[in-house]
Amino acid sequence: MTLSPRRLAIDYGLLILLAGLVAVFAVAEPAFLRVNNLFSILQAVAIVALLGVGVTVTMIAGGFDLSVGGLAAFVQMAAAYSLVVLDGSTGSAILLCLGLGILVGLGNAVLIVRLGIPDLLATLGMLFLLAGLQLVPTGGRSIAPGLILLDGSTAQGTFTDGFLALGRHRVWDILPVPVLVLAVVAAALWLVMAWTRFGRVFYAIGGNELAARLAGAPTRLYRVAAYVISATVASIGGILLAARIGRGDVSAGNGLMLDAVAAALIGHAVLGANRPNILGTVVGAVFVGVLLNGLTMLNAPYYLQDLVKGAVLIGALAVTYGLAPRRA
């Protein structure tokens, strides 16, 4: 098949643009291309990318999960509470966080699959619920070692070194742990979604649930799985977030949800997929990260960030919906 400019734009537009951006930034600011800086970019986008990958799984199954941002923030607070207030170990904090994530995923699944609430509404409700719930144990305050509790006593625990390493350690002094986690999670989900029969069924459910059901797929089970996967991945994101900032910050989750959803939507436009895909989401998150990092290096004011994200999102959507081939 010959590559028309239009086809080229659909398939490789975003990647070409990404390469172009890297080239421009590298010329304008040679420090941009340093390995350290590149990993900093990945470090910066790792959590958003993880949440986006989770959202992508639900989108593949024809749903949506808005609650991932709220869940990551909630889990971040839960990790801090477990470590600081309960004086728990690294392992117990991680288990608690993953357990909460699975629970929230099952909760979303009950609302959407069992009660039949539209996915956007159910997960929007869950988003608010979690954003509120995270404030309850501490009366709305952030959690740091030495926190004065509601009963007047002082918290005895602290962030363990092991836990902090999850957010701050660099493997071989170069590869940040969150980037490694993202790589492993994204690769695993990509393999499942692109190369196994299970992934095919997820896509089929997203395409036409009843057709998939009549083809013999237990579609409700798959949809429940999609929300549990999404929530579990989001709680991993929450753990990494807590480890990176080293305290339980009530405002840490701001903007995470929108960034994650944006990454997933930008991902539709990668390699002409025109549908949610794991790899595309990661590329989408990295794209935004590169742009923001480069602009910061060039001393662009911080308040332009949302403007830039919006422009990228709209551009990607224009490619997905405007250029993609449709029969007249």
Partner 1 sequence: MTTSAVPPALAMRGLVATFGPTRALDGASLTVAPGTIHGLIGHNGAGKSTLIKVLAGLVTPQAGTIALDGATVTGMTPGRAEALGIAFIHQERLLVPTATVGEALFLGRESAGSRFGIRRGSLRRRAEAALERVFGVTLPKGALIRDLSTAQQQIVQITRALLADPKILVFDEPTAALAQREVEHLFAAIRRLKAQGLTTLYISHYLAEIEQLCDTVTVMRNGRDVAHVDPRQVPEGGLAQLMIGRPVTELYPRQRAAAGEPVLALAGVGVGPGVRDISFTLRRGEVLGLTGLLGSGAKDLVRALFGLAPITAGTVTVDGQAARLKNPTEAVRRGIALVPEDRRAHGVALDLGIRENLTLASLGRLSRWGWLDREAERRRALDLIGELQVKTGGPDAPVRTLSGGNQQKVALGKWLAREAHLYILDEPTIGVDIAAKAEIYRLIAEAAGRGAGILLLSADPDELLGLCDRILVLFRGTIVAEHEAAGTDAGTLLQAALTGGRGAAGAASTVPAHAA
Within 255-284, the residues that bind partner 1 by CB under 8 A are: 275
Residue 218 touching partner 1 (CB under 8 A): yes
CB of 92 to partner 1, least distance (A): 33
Identity of the residue, 223 or 244, whose beta carbon is nearer to partner 1 in the bound complex: 223
Identity of the residue, 30 or 216, whose beta carbon is nearer to partner 1 in the bound complex: 216
Identity of the residue, 92 or 208, whose beta carbon is nearer to partner 1 in the bound complex: 208
Residue 9 touching partner 1 (CB under 8 A): no
Q: Determine contact, residues 201/222, Cβ cutoff 8 Å.
A: yes
Residue 247 touching partner 1 (CB under 8 A): no
Identity of the residue, 71 or 217, whose beta carbon is nearer to partner 1 in the bound complex: 217
Q: How far apart are CA 52 and CA 302, in angstroms?
A: 23
175 in the Ramachandran plot: left (φ > 0), alpha (ψ -120 to 50) or beta?
beta
Question: What are the C-alpha distances in Å from 278 to residues 174, 190, 282?
Answer: 25, 5, 7
Question: Closest by alpha carbon to 85, among 132, 135, 144?
Answer: 144
Phi, psi dihedral angles at 301 (to 5 degrees):
-65, 145
Identity of the residue, 95 or 214, whose beta carbon is nearer to partner 1 in the bound complex: 214
Q: How many residues sit in the footprint of partner 1 (CB under 8 A)?
A: 25
Q: Answer positive or negative: Cα dihedral of 207, 213, 214, 215.
A: positive
Residue 196 touching partner 1 (CB under 8 A): yes
DSSP calls for 97-133: HHHHHHHHHHHHHIIIIIS---HHHHHHHHHHHHHHH
Within 117-136, the residues that bind partner 1 by CB under 8 A are: none
Interface mask toward partner 1 for 87-106; x: CB under 8 A? --------------------
CB of 192 to partner 1, least distance (A): 8
Interface mask toward partner 1 for 136-175; x: CB under 8 A? ----------------------------------------
CB of 202 to partner 1, least distance (A): 11
Identity of the residue, 94 or 193, whose beta carbon is nearer to partner 1 in the bound complex: 193
Identity of the residue, 196 or 254, whose beta carbon is nearer to partner 1 in the bound complex: 196
Q: What is the CA radius of gyration of the chain?
A: 20
Q: How far apart are CA 141 and CA 251, in angstroms?
A: 10
Within 198-217, the residues that bind partner 1 by CB under 8 A are: 198, 200-201, 203-204, 206-208, 210-217
Question: Closest by alpha carbon to 190, among 56, 48, 64, 289?
Answer: 56
What pairing do the DSSP bridges indicate for beta strands 175-176 and 170-171?
antiparallel
Question: Closest by alpha carbon to 48, among 295, 289, 314, 231?
Answer: 289
Token pair 């470590």 is at which residue? 83
Residue 321 touching partner 1 (CB under 8 A): no
Note the residues at the interface with partner 1 (CB under 8 A): 195-198, 200-201, 203-204, 206-208, 210-218, 275, 325-328
